A = this chain, B = another copy of it.
Amino acid sequence: MKTAATEMFGIEAPVFAFSHCRDVVVATSKAGGFGVLGAAWMTPEHLEQELKWIDDHIDGLPYGVDMVFSSTSTTVDFKESPRDILPKEHREFINHLLDEDGVPPLPEDEEKGWYAEYARNLAFSPEASEALLDVALRHPVKLVVSALGVAPDHIIKRVHDHGAKFGALVGSVRQAQKQVEAGVDLIVAQGSEAGGHTGQITSLVLWPEIIDAVAPVPVLAAGGVGRGRQMAAALALGAEGVWCGTIWLGTVESELTPDMREVLYAARPEDAIITYGYTGKSCRAIRSKYTEAWLRPDAPQPLKTTPLQSILSGEPFRRVERARRKDWMTYSAGQIVGRVNEPTTVKNVMYDMILEYAEAIERLAQINEA
């Protein structure tokens, strides 16, 4: 296979794997694709550790990092506990529901230790982004992706000077055009069926619109891609490759706990719903008692100011994880979660994808010979 994306990075198959897990990054690059580490909420120390591990295991193959480049700071200024900055009404609402349903509270040391660190990592600032970029550029990363927003000129220049490409994830034609004007080399166009923060336009409609709007800048197709026929569809629509996230969550390499993995195996496409309860923004995640709670008539409005609702979610998520309460667990996932049904490996997912892709191409050829 030969597309602008395979040529850009010298890879065999234009399959880009977004993952918070270094094992998935390494396994996809080794299987002929391209792994991208989601680094947005890591500390510089943590990112250094992950990239060193990747360098030690990836056999010199290309990989990338994905982070948030913010132009404004979100300060999280709390004294002892993240609770101090959250509205009492919100905390009490969700914690009361968990109490009532028999989910034990956090031990006090967790609240002050783990929870405080968790909350601090969610706040971002230009300085924090640049500190992460400093780490990334000490490693042979070949692609830096902005998960949210347009990066400042000097950031894109630093990445280019490093010899790497700069990409950006977008959910609309307008966002794509802004990114191209800012000088990105690659657009990741994400349809509404994607997991995480997502827009309203579906992949089938959005991809070709963005592809036409930013040509000749290459576009990777994201949102709803987890099998070979979807990859064939993406290339038929004009994409230069695919960008997948959800499909890796069920692999043995993924970062998820065994409980969370089981939640994903059980989820159908219609369980990957839009919730505002997770982060305060439109986010596709698995339906659970947690997402349902925020739809109750007595629920307070989710906190819109980033990252308050995410910080708020931290405590209940941790309570639920400790109590192993799968009925309350949620995680960002797209509608393709319906294909995440049993333990498998990254290599198997890649193999199945390429095989089904080849079958789809063969079928198309037969249709058109006649």
Q: Contact residues of A with B, CB < 8 Å?
A: 1-3, 172, 191-193, 199-206, 208-209, 223-225, 227, 229-230, 232-238, 269-270, 273, 335-336, 338, 360-361, 363-370
CB pair B370 A2 closer than 8 Å: yes
Additional pairs, 20, CB under 8 Å, beyond known A193-B204, A202-B224, A236-B236: A1-B368, A2-B369, A2-B370, A3-B367, A191-B204, A193-B205, A200-B269, A200-B270, A203-B204, A204-B225, A204-B230, A205-B230, A205-B269, A230-B237, A232-B236, A233-B234, A233-B236, A235-B367, A236-B363, A236-B364
* Closest CB in chain B relative to A283 CB, distance in Å: 16
Q: Quick one: given A1-B370, A370-B2, are A236 and B360 in contact (CB under 8 Å)?
A: yes
CA distance A202 to B233 in the complex (A): 14
CB pair A204 B202 closer than 8 Å: yes
Partner of A224, one of B2, B204, B236, B360: B204
Shortest 7 CB-CB distances between A and B: which pairs?
A2-B370, A233-B233, A232-B236, A204-B224, A202-B202, A193-B202, A205-B335
CA distance A229 to B233 in the complex (A): 9
CB pair B237 A360 closer than 8 Å: yes
Taking CB atoms, residues of chain B closer than 8 Å to A234 are 233
* Closest CB in chain B relative to A357 CB, distance in Å: 9
Which of A192, A235, A363 neighbours the largest number of chain B CB atoms within 10 Å of its CB?
A235
CA distance A235 to B183 in the complex (A): 35
CA distance A229 to B335 in the complex (A): 22
- Which residue of chain B lies nearest to A208 when distances are taken between CB atoms in the complex? B229
Taking CB atoms, residues of chain B closer than 8 Å to A205 are 193, 224, 230, 269, 335-336, 338
* Closest CB in chain B relative to A204 CB, distance in Å: 4
* Closest CB in chain B relative to A216 CB, distance in Å: 14
Taking CB atoms, residues of chain B closer than 8 Å to A208 are 227, 229-230
* Closest CB in chain B relative to A239 CB, distance in Å: 10
CA distance A360 to B238 in the complex (A): 7
